[in-house]
Amino acid sequence: MTRPFWRAKLLPLFLVLLALNALAFVAWTLPRSLRQRNAQARAASARAELLLEKQRAQALVDRAEAIRANGADLERFYATLAGDEKQDLFQSLEAVEELAREPGLQLATRSVRREDVDGAPLERVVMTLPLEGSYPQLVGFLRGVERSKRFLTVDGVSLRADAESGGSLQVDLSTYLRQSPEARKSRRRGR
């Protein structure tokens, strides 16, 4: 039995051409699809990296804005809140004593300690005030310190109740004064 022509000659040729076509298809499309997958993976990685860099850039912008705001606050502090060493030291001490006398407190001997603030042209003046009076008078003094136009910080408070006088209070207050560079150098030499 002889096979027909198409089966004997054309079918093997068709199968060979089909196999060659499949190999060409695989050889052509497989590398392209792998490159496309790689490109998609690189694009996703680049997008993630871009997002991370945008977040870092925004963090730097936020930090720069915070530094500018801090600089503005510092300038405002120097200009409006920190007094001048030569002009405001005595006035600050007198103002604190007046705040103590205003509600009727008895002020014992105050002590004053001056110290330089590292990295700033400021001097911190720490005042320790032993006060005696009633509880409302002591509260009135602390309210007066809080409302004062001068920049005063309450660093420490110790209260001792006393049946006779009502109570005694020791308050550590601080104020900050601008220092000229010359005054700062002379104070360091004097130590």
**Do 129 and 146 have their domain in common?**
yes
pTM reported for the whole predicted model: 0.56
Q: Is the pLDDT of residue 185 over 70?
A: no
- DSSP character string of 22-53: HHHHHHHHHHHHHHHHHHHHHHHHHHHHHHHH
| 169 and 148, same domain (yes or no) | yes
Residues 38 and 124 in one domain: no
22, 61: one domain: yes
Same domain, 151 and 131: yes
For residue 99, give its domain range: 83-190
Q: CA 141, 163, 161 angle in degrees (round to 5)?
A: 50
Q: Are residues 97 and 152 in the same domain?
A: yes
* Strand duo 166-178 + 83-84: pairing: parallel
pLDDT tens column, 71-123: 999 888 887 777 776 677 778 888 888 888 887 888 878 888 888 888 888 88
Joined tokens for residue 147: 């409302």
Last residue of a domain, one of 81, 102, 133: 81
